[in-house]
Amino acid sequence: MSLIEAVSIGDLSVPTNDGPALLGSVRLYDYGGCEGLTLGQLVNAVCVHTGVAIEDQTVNKMNIITVNARKLRAESQVLATIVDGSCNYDSVLDLPGYEGMTYRDFLQNELKLTIGGDGTLPDKLKTYNERMKVFTALKEILNSDATASQRDMIDLQTYESRRDVAYSTATNVVKNLGMSKQMVAGNMK
């Protein structure tokens, strides 16, 4: 965030019988490349700046959620079709983001599982027990990714709420400043 700098532009005094009484100094503020801001303008600038920063976090979190949702769909498809015996490691995914990728590539490259040998997954998928071994491994990953996705959704809701508060505060400041100016102008008649 940018620094807020107070710039004194003069002193505020009132006349008294003993001479002028100093009430304080009159200040304007510099913030985020804007100079000469009143206190209300400063509050509004900070709120808008905060809202924009939180909006960036919101967009980044939405992108993460989109990528993770694609991965969850792919994990679900691989799990379901391997367990029901309708696919094998050479079957091809047809989901967005994974078009043309074989199950083997997805399992090894995306999920970092080892197929065959002493790996996590069996070399073949011909028997019920081999398919159940895949089910066990993928179920853990799927549960973990689903939990992470839920946390991401909560984070997204938090960011959206904070962003809305920042923009709402900025809007209220503008509205209240306008009403104050109208009241001052109305009292000058």
- 20-52 pLDDT, tens digit each: 888 788 889 999 888 999 888 899 999 999 999
Please spell the DSSP secondary structure of 34-99, one letter per residue: EEEE-HHHHHHHHHHHHHHHHHHHHHHHHHHHHHHHHHHHHHHHHHHHHHTTS--TT-B--STT-T
Compute CA 38 distance to the chain's CA centroid, rounded to the nearest angstrom. Answer: 31
**Residue 14 pLDDT > 90, yes or no?**
no
Q: Report pTM.
A: 0.75
**Residue 178 pLDDT > 90, yes or no?**
no
- 146-159 pLDDT, tens digit each: 999 999 999 999 99
Torsion angle (degrees, nearest 10) of CA 72, 77, 83, 86: -170
d(CA 184, CA 181): 5
- Average pLDDT estimate for 59-80: 96
Q: How confident is the model at residue 165 (pLDDT cuts 50, 70, 90)?
A: very high
**Residue 8 pLDDT > 60, yes or no?**
yes
Q: How confident is the model at residue 61 (pLDDT cuts 50, 70, 90)?
A: very high
On whether the CB atoms of residues 48 and 166 are closer than 8 A, the answer is: yes
Q: How confident is the model at residue 166 (pLDDT cuts 50, 70, 90)?
A: very high
Query: CA separation (Å) from 88 to 83, 119, 120, 130, 179?
Result: 10, 17, 16, 11, 70
Mean pLDDT score of the chain, rounded to an integer? 91
- 91-131 pLDDT, tens digit each: 999 999 999 999 999 999 999 999 988 778 999 999 999 99
